[in-house]
Amino acid sequence: MISNTTFVLTGLIICGMIGGILVSVEVGYRLGIRSRRNRPNFAPRIHPTIEGSVFGLMGILIGFTFYGAASRFENRRQLAVREANAIGTTYLRLDLLPAESRPGLQEQFRTYVRARLNVERQIPNLKAVAAALEHSSDLQQELWKSTVAAAKESGPAEKSLVLNSLNETIDITTDRTVALITHPPLAVYLMLGLSIVTACVLAGYTMSASAARDWMSIATLAVVLGMANYVILDYEYPRIGLVRVDVDQVLEETLGKMR
């Protein structure tokens, strides 16, 4: 569930982005006005080649960062589903082990799933996430040792099914941890921000040639670019903003079936 604090923070970020774009347009506009004052017959205008290059670069960067963020978001979602399926399969296969060892292993599994849920819930507190990951890793080792000990009393086929499934469950956590921390370099976002500011300054400079400001065009440019950049960041860092990876629901449903 999204908290009120998240809504407030989201609103502030969006307003900040839109405000930054408006300031950039205003800077360009004032530069153009000053040029007209110094040279009365001068009409502020950017060469089409330069203007097209800057706006083209901005469009390419927005497109690539949006596509990359959306791809990583979908990858995180798929990994969450894979982990839930692997956990559910392994839990069912515990029935192949001796009856006397099942209750303890099943309880260990439920504890492990709760620990995995806690990892996601600690975001964006990085220290808490690291502690939760370490705790879940300790539980993995305990679960593996307990399962191996119980499987010694089973046949080769049962042992292979249970241990292979448990191994897959453990391996997926590494994939999910890597996906959680995989983001583009900071330089990409700096370049994106620089291209947007430059394009907006050029737009404001060109607008200064008109006697009256076109506020509808300015507002449209600011809102569209501001919202586009927010969506990119929200896709890139799910669980911090409004966009969420529904891992809680998937794992909670899996936990609910562990009876």
Q: Whole-number mean pLDDT of the chain?
A: 88
Q: Say how many domains are in the chain.
A: 1
Write out the residue range of the structural domain in which residue 37 sits: 4-256
Provide, rounded to the nearest whole percent, the portion of the chain with pLDDT above 90: 57
Contact in structure between 201 and 27 (CB atoms under 8 Å): yes
Q: What is the pLDDT of residue 111?
A: 94
Q: Find, among 207, 236, 152, 190, the residue nearest to 22 by Cα.
A: 207
230 band by pLDDT with thresholds 50, 70 and 90: very high
How is residue 22 written in tokens? 């408006």
Mean pLDDT value of segment 191-219: 90
How is residue 190 written in tokens? 């700096």
Alpha helices in 94-125 (DSSP H): 102-121
Q: What is the pLDDT of residue 165?
A: 93
Mean pLDDT value of segment 74-90: 91
Q: What is the pLDDT of residue 258?
A: 86
Q: What is the pLDDT of residue 135?
A: 94
How is residue 41 written in tokens? 């017959």
Q: What is the pTM of this model?
A: 0.81
